[in-house]
């Protein structure tokens, strides 16, 4: 685990490589697989969460990652309520599962899977209906499949095409 010191002038210092970092550098370190611990250089207080959230928001496009509805729900759960702890445990478990699945893809296909793309505009409402295995929205109950490979109906073009 790398120790990063944060100074009062907001500069970050990588103690392993003996160099100053910006948030983009810190993001590259984490993306590269290293865990980091960020500490206040003067007090030794752990600032890891705060700085990693800053990386998410400023470098990783976190404004898209955390839609307002999700942020409202997290805040409404309260900081120390049983619901808040349960929600965080579920989120953590979901991320662990995603990490395990990506690891399986890497072992199976021999390459590092690219991170999933960000959500498409207007896709927040659809996200609950995405099939976990196929990655496609599940058809409405009673609806016919529209994929010809799945045996669903197809639309033929005009005769003579």
Residue 19 has pLDDT above 70, yes or no: yes
Q: What is the pTM of this model?
A: 0.55
> Rounded to 10 degrees, what is the CA torsion of 145, 148, 151, 155?
80
Strand partners, 19: 14
Give the tens place of pLDDT for each residue, 53-90: 899 888 877 667 778 887 787 777 777 778 778 877 88
The residue written with tokens 């500490």 in the block is 39
DSSP-derived letter for residue 19 is E
**98, 90 in Cβ contact below 8 A?**
no
CA 7-9-11 angle, to 5 degrees, is: 60
Residue 131 phi, psi dihedral angles, 5° rounding: -70, 130
């Amino acid at each position: 685990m790398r120790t990063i010191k944060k100074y009062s002038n907001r500069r970050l210092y990588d103690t392993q490589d003996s160099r100053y970092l910006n948030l983009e550098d810190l993001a590259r370190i984490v993306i590269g697989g290293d865990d980091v611990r960020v500490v206040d250089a003067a007090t030794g207080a752990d600032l890891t969460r705060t700085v990693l959230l800053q990386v998410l928001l400023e470098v990783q496009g976190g404004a898209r990652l955390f839609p307002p509805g999700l942020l409202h729900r997290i805040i409404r759960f309260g900081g120390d309520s049983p619901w808040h702890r349960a929600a965080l445990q579920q989120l953590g478990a979901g991320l662990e599962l995603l990490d395990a699945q990506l690891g399986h893809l890497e072992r199976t296909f021999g390459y590092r899977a690219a991170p999933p793309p960000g959500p498409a505009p207007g896709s927040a409402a659809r996200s609950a209906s995405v099939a976990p295995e196929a990655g496609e929205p599940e058809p409405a109950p009673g609806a016919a499949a529209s994929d010809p490979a799945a045996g669903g109906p197809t639309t033929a073009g005009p005769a003579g095409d």
